[in-house]
Amino acid sequence: MTRKFFGTDGIRGPVGSPQMSADFVLRLGWAAGRVLAPQGGGTVLIGKDTRISGYMFESALEAGFSAAGVNVQLLGPMPTPAIAYLTRVTHAQAGVVISASHNPYHDNGIKFFSAEGRKLPDETELRIEEAIAKPFVTVDSGSLGNAHRMADAAERYIAFCQASVAPGLKLDGLKLVLDCANGATYRIAPAVFSALGAQLTSLGVHPDGLNINQDSGSTHPQRLQQKVLELGAQLGIAFDGDGDRVLMVDRRGELVDGDELLFIIAMARKLRHALYGPVVGTQMSNLGLEQALGAHAIEFRRAQVGDRYVLAMLEESHGVLGGENSGHIICLDRTTTGDGIISALQVLEALNVAGRDLADVKAGMRKFPQVLVNVETRERVDLETPAIRAAVKTVEQRLDGRGRVLLRLSGTEPLVRVMVESEDADLTRQYAETIAEAVRTAALH
């Protein structure tokens, strides 16, 4: 069966749209309660990022779960991976995150974690969708779920992050700039890195409900790059709105993406004989990552785009490390899901052990020029349209095996993503625009 509401990363859309309205989220909470705790009782955790609509959806979810007889613990603004961790260690039935990740404030979304702190399987999401269509029946008043706030949620997660690296890791004297995107990491990330001794400057730590991801964070790292150069900092760290992605900036102000961070962590694991199974990337991972890992006899595999598919391939292949070039990195030997803070700490630990800085260590991987063009579409485009296939075939013939072409439909936005990579930057851009124009033309017909 095809899921009607759930996409690749939960349910997401503009606030006020049919599946991001207060009444729908009320029914979603009730339906999830009926599926995840069918006997009633039990507890779910609800966390959120800093969007103004989070208050509305938090109340709607709380009411829905209560009507289904499920207790709720409210965590307030917390990174998505923090909800996954706390769900697991508190033995809750599920965790719920109210967030649209890297999207602007006028979007929002709902993500679920299982009792083990993992994304729900497709079958469970389908059962929740089926339950949404059923009559809304409130349990007896004596069986209604109650709600409490978890007062020490932040402290527990901060301690977990600090415990994810060797006890001897010290960042004393490290001049570090953080950009928290005015999102869910705005309190926690500065606390983690300052406790380790870093000399910290923090950006994007004044959320107002509307400025999440606005000209900041991992999707807009320009301000961070400028600040690193201005202060003469050793490096910068950028998170996205819900804290499950991370990108870095080296001392030269150059952006270090998820592929390069994955390479750095993989090499550190290999040196410690702690890299098990293959490293897993996606169809979007740079060819340079595959070649750099191969040069060190490290197996690399590609999953579909989306952290759930990276995780599934890691579990199938008994791997511990995978991720996406967007900075969504999964360290299964540390936690159960992508975690920006945990991943950043793994990179800093690798640099500390190597006694080298970020600019030097990333040089071990040579990226191929890669161009991504997002083509906005009003309706779903058939990527097998003859004109699109002809454009792709022409480019692939010109690449002659010295690059890659990838087209895919976004799972969260009305976009077709056109990616081309090759050894020549100018030709790569030209090829990507050629295919993008074919997609735009097809979208008009």
Q: How many CB atoms lie within 10 A of CB 294?
A: 11
Whether 337 contacts 119, CB under 8 Å = yes
CA distance 408 to 169: 41
- Residue 135 φ then ψ, to 5°: -60, 135
Q: What is the bridge-based pairing of β-strands 199-203 and 175-179? A: parallel
Whether 44 contacts 72, CB under 8 Å = yes
Annotation marks residue 101 as catalytic: yes
- Residue 367 φ then ψ, to 5°: -80, 140
Q: How many CB atoms lie within 10 A of CB 334?
A: 18
Query: Sheet containing 199-203: which strands, arranged edge to edge?
Result: 199-203, 175-179, 235-239, 246-250, 255-256
CA distance 267 to 351: 11
Whether 52 contacts 89, CB under 8 Å = no
Q: How many CB atoms lie within 10 A of CB 416?
A: 23
Give the residue among 150, 147, 202, 136 at the shortest CA–CA distance from 175. Answer: 202
Given the residues 53, 101, 285, 422, select the one marked as catalytic.
101
Catalytic residues: 101
